[in-house]
Amino acid sequence: MEKLVIKGGTPLKGEVTISGAKNAAVAILPAALLINGKCTIENLPNISDVKLSCEILSKLGAKIEWIDNNTITIDTTNVCEHQAPIGLTSKFRASYYLIGSLLGRCKKAEVGSPGGCNLGSRPIDQHIKGFEALGATVKVSNGKIKASADKLVGTSIYLDMVSVGATINVMLASVLAEGTTIIDNAAKEPHIVDVANFLNTMGADIRGAGTDVIKVNGVKELKGGATYSVVPDQIEAGTFMLAAVASKGDILIKNCITKHLECLTAKIIEIGGNVEEDGDTLHVWCNKRPQKANIKTLPYPGFPTDLQPQMGVALSIANGTSIINESIWESRFQYTNELNKMGAKITAQGKTAIFEGVEKLYGAPVYATDLRAGAALIIAGIIAEGTTELYNLSHIDRGYENIEDKFRNLGADITRVNE
Ligand code: EPU
C-alpha cells in the first residue's frame, strides 16, 4: 500500500505551475466522441481520471496518440461502438458524460452507473430529464444506464437545480440534435465554458455558456481538425493558495485564470492572508495565524465545495470559531474526523461544521476519504508538528498531477513510500 509521509512545520515558499482542469478534461475527452475526425487536446492534466477516460475512448474505437505528458491527438472517425466498458466506467464519476456524447453520436448509449468520490447521494435525474426531453428513452437497471433515440430534437429544458454534470451532459446530447436546445438554470462553472469552447472550436454552435441560459443550435457534423488547450484548474490553484495561507508561506501560483478565483481571494483576505494578481500569476502569502470566518459553499461564482476541505484546514488553526455550511454534498465533512485525529476541534453535523480554532495540528496516520479531503490532509500534514502518514492515495491521484513533486518544490518534506 502506498502512503505519503509528510514531516510538517515548513512554511511553503517558491513557485508552482497549475495544470489543466480535471473537471474540464474529463468532459472534453468524451465530448471528442461527437467529432467525426481528428483533433489535438493540449494541457490535459496527467491524472488517473484522464488516463481512464482515454482507455475507455480507445475501447470504443478512438485512436489516441500521446504527443507528450499533457497532449493527445484523438481520431474518432471509426467509433461506432455505443457500449462503454462497465468495469472502467464505474470507476469514476465523469463517465456519465459518455451517455450524452454516445447518445449524440450513435443515438444510443450503454454506460455503467458512475462511481467516483463518496460524497453522499449523487443522483443523475436531471441528466436523464434532459435526455428524455430531447427525445431519448432512458432505462436504469442492473447497474447500467441505457439510452436510445430515433432522433434527438432540440427543446427547452429547465434544470430543477444547478448541476454541473447535467448542464454539460445535456449540452453534449444536443450539439448534433435537430433544431435549438435551451438549457435554463444552467451551471456557470469555468469548465462548462471550457467544454462549450472546445465543442465550438470543433464546429458546434453553443452560445451563453457561463450564464444561466445556454442555447445550443444543433449542427449536422463536428469536423474537428483543430487544437484545443484545456483551461487551468481553479481548484488546484485554490488548493495551493490555501496551502500558502495555512502554512504561513509565500507562493507564486502561475498559469491561473485569476477571475475564476475571485471568491476564494476575497475569503483569503478576510482571514488575514494576502493576494496580489499579476496577469496569470497569483502571489499569495500570509505571516500570521488565520482569522475565523464563516463559509457557505455554492455553485459558481460562489465558494466552491471542491475547496471546502482545504479551507477547513486553514480554519482549523484559525483564531476563533468558524462555521462552514456545505450546501452541495451531504458527506463532504468526512475529512473533519481525520483532522480531529491531528488535534483539530471540529464538530460536524449534517450540512454544518463548527471549527474551534486550535493553535497547532499534530502529525498522525490519516486517510484520504475523497479527492479534496486528500488534498486538505496534505496541507494539514505540512502545517502539523511531527510526522503525518496519509493513506488512500488513489483518491488524490485521480485529480492532482504530480502533487507531491509540486509541494516538495515549495519546500515541503513529503515522500511517497510503498509499505
Ligand atoms: N444533483 C441532483 N440531480 C442531478 C444532478 C445533481 O440532485 O441530476 C444535485 C447533487 O446531488 C448535488 C448538486 O445537485 O447536490 C450539484 O451536483 P452537480 O451535478 O453540480 O455535481 P457533479 O456534476 O456530479 C461536479 C464535479 C464535482 C463538484 C460538483 C459541484 C465533475 C466530474 N465533478 O460534480 O467535483 O463537486 O460538480 O461543483 O465535474 C471534485 O472534483 O472533487 C468533485 C467532486
Residue 90: predicted pLDDT: 84
Residues of the chain with CATH 3.65.10.10: 2-19+232-418, 22-229
The pLDDT value recorded for residue 171 is 98
CATH code of 22-229, in short, is 3.65.10.10
Q: Dump pLDDT digits (tens) for 8-28.
A: 999 999 999 999 999 999 999
Question: Distance from the CA of 257 to the center of ligand 1, in angstroms?
Answer: 22
Residue 92 CA: nearest ligand 1 atom is 32
Task: Provide the pLDDT for residue 116.
Answer: 65
Q: Best mutation site among 22, 23, 113, 298 for ligand 1, i.e. most ligand atoms within 8 A of its Cβ?
A: 23
Q: What is the pLDDT of residues 199-219, one digit of tens each?
A: 999 999 999 999 999 999 999
User: Residue whose CA is closest, atom 17 of ligand 1?
Assistant: 163
Which cell goes with 251?
A: 507562493
List the residue whose alpha carbon is closest to atom 37 of ligand 1.
164
Q: Please state which CATH class domain 2-19+232-418 belongs to.
A: alpha beta
Give the CA distances from residue 197 to residues 37, 146, 200, 209, 410, in Å, rounded to whole numbers and listed in that order.
18, 28, 5, 9, 33
The per-residue pLDDT for range 294-342, each reduced to its tens digit, is 999 999 999 999 999 999 999 999 999 999 999 999 899 999 999 999 9
- Known catalytic residue at 117: yes
Catalytic residue chosen out of the listed positions 106, 117, 263, 286: 117
In this prediction the pTM is 0.97
Plot region of 225 (φ>0 → left; ψ -120 to 50 → alpha; else → beta) = left
CA distances from 169 to 131, 159, 323 (A): 8, 12, 34
Do residues 364 and 342 make contact, with C-beta atoms less than 8 angstroms apart?
A: yes
Would you state the pLDDT for residue 122? 82
Residues with CB under 6 A from ligand 1: 23, 26, 93-94, 117, 121-127, 161, 163-166, 187, 305-306, 328, 371-372, 399
d(CA 283, CA 300): 23
Q: With a cut of 50, which residues of the chain have pLDDT below it?
A: none
